[in-house]
Structure 1
Amino acid sequence: MQRQPFLFFFFLMIIAVCQQSCQPAANSNLKETNDSAVVKLITLDPGHFHAALVQKSMYPEIDSTVYVYAPGGAELQAHLALIKQYNERQDNPTHWNEQVYTSSDFLNKMLNEKKGNVVVLAGNNQRKTECISKVVNAGLNVLGDKPMAINSSNFAMLENAFRTAAKNGVLLYDIMTERSEITNILQKELAHTPAVFGTLAAGTQNNPAVVIESVHYFYKYVSGNVLTRPDWFFDPGQQGEAIADVGTHLIDLVQWSLFPDTAIDYKKDIVIKAARIWPTPVTLLQFAAVTKETAFPSFLQPYVTHDTVLQTHANGEINYTLKGVPVKLTARWNYQAPEGSGDTHYCLLKGTKANLEIRQGKEENYKPTLYIIQKSSGSGYENEVQDAVKQLSTKYPGISLQKNKQGWLVIIPEKYKVGHEAHFAQVMQRYLQYFKERKLPDWEVPDMIAKYYTSTKALEIATKKAHN
């Protein structure tokens, strides 16, 4: 009789264990968490489609479970819809398992739980720098979409965040997709081939050695669908002015192309000569087509004229010198691209032997195209160009030259033209390598700081000019 209570409780324990083991696993249609993965992603308030593009591919080093913290709403749903689209596509589907927390205290909740070790930030830029500071202060790594700072006060906060990241041994890195575009890569390679390029031309403010420009469009397609933009995207206080937003890509390319693997000291190496900003008009009908909103919100009313036209802060220009090299940089936004085209990029590097020019106009069928424009008249110059490109083809098999009236068109095989969305995976691969090594290249941090100094200082100058 004394053994009956023991047998009774033993029997209950067997039932409990059986019930627990027989329960169906949550999300059983998804692959299990990869506990051996090095990286566990956290997505924080994904208000921009770039947050999803980071997950358009799978990576062996990244756990398939991603922790999402956001206040909820349409932007979060748009993000989750893109992830779902990638998971369900026919060709090479992903298998992300999104664990979502929605509440107004999402940031504090994420910082307290620390369920991952790399935080992806892509959304409203008004508080992004503050979030970056809190994340690195908590000992978490950051992969941040551009821009990481949209004004001078943000810049001071970001500079301090880099110091905190170094102290805490975490990586703070921004997503610079344009470094992965093949024409930019080859332009950089040829700019450092003296037989082809010579040396960089001296240039002046009125005749700069570097001219770089991008044109973006509000109405565009992402992953095959028309992009819906949040209404705050049109607010310079939340998205940022053009030169402080997409202008960061251009500033980065200039630094990366002209002075690769070189630490830039913004206090000595950068001088802003002039800067200006101007608006792009967007009608209420155009605004509605992009945002699905039927009226301009109150925070945009200061920029609305005649009740129906929004004067969007969408264009900017900077004239500056980088280590003495005169640069003219222009970032512009229009409403919709010409049929068959999209965002465009232009870059001219002036050398003593040749100019290297990337065009993306109608003549190029709106595809980035690299030209070598001959300036040298030496009898053996053509052979030098041919030899240089042949040597370069050992690194990039298949590239060749086609003679034209001005010099040569660089022929690039289609296999290298992967497109903007694929560049996010290439950035992630670089970041994962840095994560594995537990450090960024020595020049990356000072060059990121220099980049954001250039954009925010130029905006400060342009804003004062606009108000005078």
Structure 2
Amino acid sequence: MNKQKSLIALAAIACLSACNPAREGMQKKDIRLITVAPGHFHAALVQKTMYPQVDSVVHVYAPDGSEVDAHLALIDQYNTQSDNPTSWEEKVYRGDDFLQKMLAEKEGNVVVLAGNNKHKIDYITQSITAGLNVLADKPVVIDAEGFAALKQAFTSASDKGVLLYDIMTERYEINTMLQKAFSQQSDFFGGLVTGTADNPAITKESVHHFFKEVSGKPLSRPAWFYDTKQQGEGIVDVTTHLVDLVQWESFPDQVINYEQDIQFVDAKRWPTQITPAQFERSTGLKEFPGFLSESVDGQGNLSVFANGEINYKLKDIHAKVSVIWNFEAPQGAGDLHYSIMRGRYANLIVQQGAEEQYKPMLYIESTGERDAKAFEEALAKAIEQLSSSYKGLKSEAVADGRYRISVDPSLITTHEEHFAQVTEKYLGFLQSGTIPEWEVPNMLAKYYLTTKALAEAQTVSAP
């Protein structure tokens, strides 16, 4: 009976996705943004461009301090940039009662959230209760308690006729898009193999850095970014993107039922050591604040559980996702990504290393199931079929049975540009009043897996 009730609940959520986020849709300029507690630079990246559907006046509610100052500085930078300057007008309220003030005034209808993840689900819940749509940076939740609240939030969103959506930028990286597209060419790819725990059908690995540049300037991190109780551990943070891509690429447009379609195998976590000098360089603070004292080791370094790995099965297909955080990338490098989808006839590999000048690149290699001539002919046919969707699509042999895939440079966009693409997709949902039926159930599936993996990994590594 309980299982039957759960399935009914999932069906209701799917109905919400297809039918209910904005019942009559929103017309041009009807969308007005509210930015709440912008503690992460992703909040500003949503406004790096203008949108014809969105009013230029944005209301900001935040506690006073350096975080809102940094956010407004980025908005000002975008307003004054020489290339396609924006024209946002920020109306700012500063105060400890920022959330209550926002809920009382409701100066807009879309709340943008990117900041302290500990409080994010509470902001989401209260915004939805007030009848506001929410566009939230990942991760939406960082533990099992948050996941339970997220399920209720989607139910409330259905009742209120509003839309909660998370910012999945990696769906818009062209090599990932091509990896997905080639995997769906069944005659060429041959479908995903089942794989094993030791040799999964899908592997996605991501390397990130605490110290980096954003919009051409060094990024200053808030001290809480290093507190996993506030930011979340790596296994529930960046892995959100990776789990999302596994679902989105492997089973496109399909509803994932997390109770039936996901089988957890195992997970692990480990820390990154941050020295006091690195912490000061990243945050500007000369000492670790008191809330980080429990994470300082005997050598005086900060241990941040920013790294993690999850092994699981999705619809009987073995998958592995892992994330690593280093302090800073080597000179000339940046965040890294590796992904492989293993099919019967071909492996689809995205690499982003020194050979690729630290820019992602898609390679296709033969599994040997076909002879060289047959594989080349199949690849040429797949490229021909996809060329109408991807301008300038072509392959170049780089080794026996291995090909590098490229497209017209106009299709290559940056990580910062992806935020506008996600936002435009979300605005389209709001305007049409519809969202694909798989989106909400698959968000639940994603956060079910990450929060369950965290709980399991913490149990395994507990002293």
TM-score tier (shorter): over 0.9
Question: With CA pairs under 8 Å and 6+ residues apart, which has the higher RCO, 1 or 2?
Answer: 2
The residue aligned with 1:204 is 196
1:417 CA displacement? 1.7
Q: For residues 8-38 of structure 1, what are the alpha-carbon distances to aligned partners after superposition, in whole Å with 9 as ceiling and x for unaligned?
A: xxxxxxxxxxxxxxxxxxxxxxxxxxx9612
Counterpart of 1:211, as a letter, is T
Q: Which residue in 1 is equivalent to 2:173?
A: 181
5+ unaligned residues in a row in structure 2: which ranges? 1-26
Q: Would the aligned equivalents of 2:297 and 2:303 in 1 still touch at CA under 8 Å?
A: yes
The 8 Å contact of residues 134 and 164 in structure 2, kept in 1 or not, is answered as yes
Structure 1: distance between partners of 2:379 and 2:385: 10
What CA deviation, in whole Å up to 9, does each residue of 1:101-150 have, x standing for no partner?
11111101111111100000000011101110111111100000000000
Q: Which runs of 5+ in 1 are unaligned?
A: 1-34
1:201-256 C-alpha deviation (Å, 9 max, x unpaired): 12111111111100000110000000000000000100000010111000000000
Structure 1 position 413, deviation (Å): 2.4
Tell me the CA shift for residue 437 of structure 1: 1.3
Equivalent of residue 387 in structure 1, options 381, 386, 393: 381
Preserved contact between residue 319 and residue 327 of structure 1 (Cα < 8 Å) = yes
Aligned to 2:370: 377
Counterpart code for 1:432? L
2:62 aligned to which of 66, 70, 82: 70
Secondary structure of the 2:78 match is: helix
1:48-87 pair list within 5 angstroms: 48-87=40-79
Find out whether 1:130 has 2:125 as its counterpart.
no
Is the 2:309–2:323 contact (alpha carbons within 8 Å) kept by the matching residues of 1?
yes
Runs of 4 or more, structure 1, over 4 Å off, are: none
* 2:10 alignment counterpart: none
Measured in 2, the distance between the counterparts of 1:298 and 1:212 equals 35
- Of 123, 132, 141, the match for 2:133: 141
Name whichever of 135-144 and 389-398 sits farther off: 389-398
1:115 aligns with 2:110: no
Q: CA deviation at 1:306?
A: 3.0
**TM-score, with normalisation over the residues of structure 1?**
0.91
Aligned-partner SS, 2:259? helix
**Which residue does the alignment assign to 1:27?**
none
Q: Name the counterpart of 1:438.
A: 433
Q: Distance in 2 between matches of 1:264 and 1:167?
A: 22
1:334 Cα shift? 0.4
User: What amino acid maps onto 1:445 in structure 2?
Assistant: V
Q: CA deviation at 1:197?
A: 1.0
Could you tell me whether the CA contact under 8 Å between 2:174 and 2:411 is conserved in 1? yes
Greater Cα radius of gyration, structure 1 or 2 = 1
Structure-to-structure mapping, 1:383-422, within 5 angstroms: 383-405=377-399, 406-422=401-417
User: Shift in Å at residue 194 of structure 1?
Assistant: 1.5
User: C-alpha distance in 2, partners of 1:340/1:198?
Assistant: 38
Residue deviations 1:405-457 (CA, integer Å, cap 9, x gap): 23211022221221100000000110011001123210000000000001000
Report if aligned partners of 1:117, 1:140 keep a CA contact under 8 Å in 2. yes
Looking at structure 2, the residues matched to 148 and 456 of structure 1 have their Cα atoms a distance apart, in angstroms, of 11
How big is the shift at 1:390?
A: 1.9
What is the alpha-carbon distance in structure 1 between the residues aligned to residue 397 and residue 83 of structure 2? 39
Matches within 5 A, 1:34-433: 37-306=29-298, 308-375=300-367, 376-378=369-371, 379-405=373-399, 406-433=401-428
1:195 offset after TM fit, Å? 2.4
Distance 1:77 1:280 in 2: 29
Partner residue, 1:9: none
Do structure 1's residue 452 and structure 2's residue 452 form an aligned pair?
Answer: no
**Separation in structure 2 between the aligned mates of residue 258 and residue 38 of structure 1, nearest angstrom:** 36
Give the Cα separation in 1 of the matches to 2:194 and 2:305: 33
Question: Which stretch of structure 1 is more off in the superposition, 40-49 or 436-445?
Answer: 436-445
Secondary structure in structure 1 of the residue aligned to 2:341: strand
413-422 vs 42-51, greater mean Cα deviation: 413-422
The answer as to whether partners of 2:391 and 2:411 remain within 8 angstroms in 1 is: no
State whether residues 391 and 407 of structure 2, in contact with CA within 8 Å, keep that contact through their aligned partners in structure 1: no
Contact 2:33 2:55 in 1 (8 A): yes
Measured in 2, the distance between the counterparts of 1:337 and 1:164 equals 42
The amino acid that maps onto 1:55 is Q
2:28 touches 2:54 (CA, 8 Å); kept in 1? no
Equivalent-residue separation in structure 2 for 1:408 and 1:88 (angstroms): 43
Cα RMSD of the aligned pairs, angstroms, is 1.1
